[in-house]
Amino acid sequence: MKAKTVLITGATSGIGKATAYRLAESKMQLIICGRRREVLDEIREDLSQLTPVISLCFDVSDNNQVIKAIESLPEDFQNIDMLVNNAGNAHGLDKIQEGNIDDWDKMIDSNVKGFLYVAKAVIPGMVKKSSGHIINIGSLAGREIYEKGNVYCATKHAVNAISKGMRIDLNKHNIKVSEINPGLVETDFSKVRFKGDPKANKVYEGYKALQAEDIAEIIEFVISRPGHVNIADVLVLPQDQATSSIINKK
């Protein structure tokens, strides 16, 4: 039986990278995507010892790049069975009246528009064969709002709404849509958000945050369910986190 082909965006770090390694161990054929060519090449070379892997270097926020990348797939990788729609970012932590428009644009372009661009490029192939599974990586921030998280939370609320819309529109095409919403995960996320500010290192102090590998394990579980089972929605938090702003730090 031919291995399933999985396309993972944001595969150069964090949840995307951990998922690539987890699924490689399961012998799934991988398409790893990201913006950093050298890192992609290193990961591809490493994972190629376990399973067939190719890499696509593009920016999800540029629709032309997305289309060209997907169209460039070799024949053996064109039949995409699963999409892990993971790429995204957070920039800044400001009150709405003090917000940086460049930060807003980056989050909307990646977390909403890029999320849609990749899905739009992959879904027609799934519709054509009447099968597939889309796993959208959302966030606890898509379920609640926290102070100074206005636009980031809005983008993750959009992921939640679009995931529900996808599930409705793709239902008759036998395509599963799952949304996985983590709370605090210890990755480079905060370093990007705070642009190297030392306070980024304190985000995960005083408690045990989720690890990228925890989410990768959940993704593997979700996609390995029987055909009649779709885990539509998962919210997962570290034990010490009750809400976005209530964390039991020791």
Out of 152, 172, 176, 199, the active site residue is: 152
Quote the CA–CA distance of 121 and 71 in Å, as a whole number.
Answer: 9
Tell me if residue 152 is catalytic: yes
Give the bridge partners for 141, in sequence order. Answer: none
Residue 213's SS3 state is helix
Q: Which is catalytic among the residues 4, 17, 156, 176?
A: 156
- Dist CA 249 CA 82 (whole Å): 37
DSSP 34-96: ES-HHHHHHHHHHHTTTS-EEEEE--TT-HHHHHHHHHT--GGG-S--EEEE----------G
Identify whether 172 is a catalytic site residue.
no
Ranges of H-type helices in the chain: 14-25, 37-47, 63-71, 101-107, 115-129, 150-170, 189-193, 212-223
Tell me how far apart the 2 most distant CA atoms of the chain are, in Å. Answer: 56
Residues classed as catalytic: 152, 156
